[in-house]
A and B are shown apart, each in its own frame.
Chain A
Amino acid sequence: MGRDGIAGLVCLATSLGLFAATIGLPEASLLVPIGPGFYPRIVLGITVLLSAILIVTDFAGRARRPAITAGVPANYRLVLITFSIIGIYIALLPSLGFRIATFAFVSVLQVALEPPRNRNNWLRVLIVAVVTTLITYLVFERYLSVLLPRGRWTDF
């Protein structure tokens, strides 16, 4: 199965799952002629139909699809690492608090994206992390009245 087929299957499964979830919704009454499930069923019906078309065209087009030529290999490892770092940052944000978590996040992500090779690079990583944290904190807390998360563990 090709890329479109997989995407179609995922969309189809999600749409069918959500469609099933609309079954228990209250039905239309005399007062309100349209129930809350009316519009979702139309939308999900459309996604089911389009997903099915995607799967069918993927199968139908397999024979004449040329082999995908390799371009510059994408650095998926780095993408995965970045997503993991963001995930950990967001997960720890309420526990560590905005300032500690953001400082750690900006430092770690810079190192992951471009590992420092000398002292100056390390210094830059630290300066960028401190300045980003301080400026965002000061601007949002002091001037824009946004209460950024305090740490549950750190109370900071």
Chain B
Amino acid sequence: MYELLLSGIANILQVQYLLPLLLGTFIGVIGGALPGVTIAMTVIVVLPFTFGLDPLQGLAAMTGVYVGGSAGGLITACLLGIPGTPSAIATTFDGFPMARKGEPGRAMWLGIWSSFFGGMLGGVFLIAATGPLAAIALEFGPWEFFALFVFALSMVAGLTGSSITKGLLSGALGLVVTIMGNDPVMGAPRLSLGIGFLEGGINFLPVLIGVFAFAQIMSDIEKMGPARPGQAAGPVPTLTVSHLKVIGEIIARPFLLLWTSFIGVLIGVLPAIGGSAASMLAYDQAKKFSRQPERFGTGAPEGIIASESSNNANVGGSLVTIMAFGIPGDIVTAVMLGAMTIHGIQSGPLFISQQPKLAYGIFAAYIVAHFLMVVIIALSARYMLRLTTVPKSVLIPIVLVLCVVGAYALNNTMANVYVLLVFGIIGYALVKFGFPLAPLILGVILGDQIEINLIRSIMTDSDPWLFLTRPISGGLIALSVASVIFALWQHRRYRKRSPQSDDDHADF
């Protein structure tokens, strides 16, 4: 395993792979630092540029975006008090007060080094767990895969959004998208509504880009007005700091670092919960375990360490799920899955054994990206602050053009661009009606696999009870039911506690 990893690192250090990784990490840091631009949006923008590259170049660039974006958000969080990405929200709680107390360099570097160490711990898990988990998944029959995908979908539907019915309906609507087009057994045209293009089925990438990017951009536009000029950046503070001292501060709290990184990994493994939940939960845990919880919120280093180590460890966890099971943990890994599909690579349990060069290339890219991230932020942090003054009226048209090019370049046809627009409208409407988008996207991605495995299992043995009597399959179906019941209980409790709440927030 370690020989493969070392050769993966040697491979990724070649200019042809290092350059896309460096560019990806750099763009990730920028996207992460820009308030209002999420990591997912950044990876969507980068996607079309990867079509012409070889698979490892493209995936290295995306891994770079993921790692860079997870850390980039801390720059504005610490120095301006504005989280660059949702996963840096918890970083502002203590990062900004520390910066305001005259220690901006310490706040930022505590964040950067915590991201680095958290990410590395996530990497250890990624490398150690992917192979064994994939080996377990290799034992799965179609019953188990069907149950696993249903479990992932029901868990996401239950955990995102504030209405379980809407979460489940959103996931089911995602499945509806996949039933259009030729059926997988007989190849009979199905529900193509007389549109020739639909006979081949709907590609999930334009759906994903349309639903996600449009919903977010339009939600931003809603808040725009004619006379709201961008904020002028103040003078950039000095960020010089003793790195050894900052690293010492982090290493001196090994339990905190390990525990919050573990939370990050765990949340990353669970589909569609995401870095923001990981960092919030880790922050909360750090506060609970602290002997002086009252210091939190006033510039406590533990707060920054918890938030930043967990959100980078989260990336490692997310990559495990996609590499071992082929289930994307969030939008970024969903886009990575799409990129693999374009290159004809099947993700899932066979991925690591059939494509060891690519799998270990991703591991290596993940590790190297953390070093690049530290260097990039060290060199560019003060300029990143200037970038926050770029008005949205400039960013939005550029992002939209790249979304259109991304959809078009999939197979050089306008049809995918029309799909993009239609699903852009649907995505925005869903957000306005209070539907979470994550289950829809997961439904679109997993729909074909759910159908194929369902049919395969019934064709192998027509006894439907096998779904429940086979231990792993039965266990996963029980977990699916339990996750829905748990979500129902949680929503009921939440509503009792705050009856005035309204579910008007968009969930990306």
Contact = CB atoms under 8 A, between A and B. Distances in A.
Contacts of B462: 33
A115 to B, nearest CB: 7
Interface string B448-470: 00010011001100100000000
A90 B53 CA distance: 26
A132 B434 CA distance: 34
Contacts of A149: 408, 414
B165 interface: yes
Interface in A77-105: 78-79, 82-83, 86-87, 89-90, 93-94, 102, 105
B84 interface: no
A47 B157 CA distance: 13
Nearest to A43: B175
Interface string B312-329: 000000000000000000
A82 B425 CA distance: 11
B203 to A, nearest CB: 16
Chain A CB within 10 Å — which of B398, B414, B504 has the most?
A: B398
B433 A90 contact: no
A25 B188 contact: yes
Contact of B169 (A44, A51, A143): A51
B51 interface: yes
Contacts of A37: 190
Contact of B425 (A43, A54, A83): A83
Contacts of A38: 455
A40 B392 contact: no
A149 B405 CA distance: 10
Contact of A146 (B51, B397, B425, B499): B51
Interface in B409-459: 409, 412, 414, 417-418, 420-421, 424-425, 428, 433-435, 451, 454-455, 458-459
A46 B165 CA distance: 11
A43 B179 contact: yes
Nearest to B192: A21
B397 A106 contact: yes
Contact of A32 (B185, B218, B223, B425): B185
B288 to A, nearest CB: 32
B52 interface: yes
Contact of A113 (B188, B393, B402, B408): B393
A132 B401 contact: yes
Of A4, A47, A114, which is in contact with the most chain B CB atoms at under 10 Å from its CB? Answer: A114
B172 to A, nearest CB: 5
A123 interface: no
Interface string B156-173: 000000010110110011
A62 interface: no
B223 A72 contact: yes
Interface in A120-156: 124, 128-129, 132, 136, 139-140, 143-149
Interface in A43-68: 43-44, 46-47, 50-51, 53-54, 57, 64, 66, 68
B502 A68 contact: yes
B166 A54 contact: yes
Nearest to A74: B222
Given A72-B223, A148-B405, A34 B397 contact: no
Contact of A26 (B51, B172, B186, B396): B186
B224 interface: yes
A139 B402 CA distance: 12
Question: Which 6 residue pairs of A and B lie closest in terms of their CB atoms, listed nearest first?
Answer: A144-B52, A36-B183, A114-B393, A113-B393, A74-B222, A40-B179
Interface of B: 48-49, 51-53, 163, 165-166, 168-169, 172-173, 175-176, 179, 183, 185-186, 188, 190-191, 193, 217-218, 221-226, 391-394, 396-398, 400-402, 404-405, 408-409, 412, 414, 417-418, 420-421, 424-425, 428, 433-435, 451, 454-455, 458-459, 462, 499-500, 502, 504
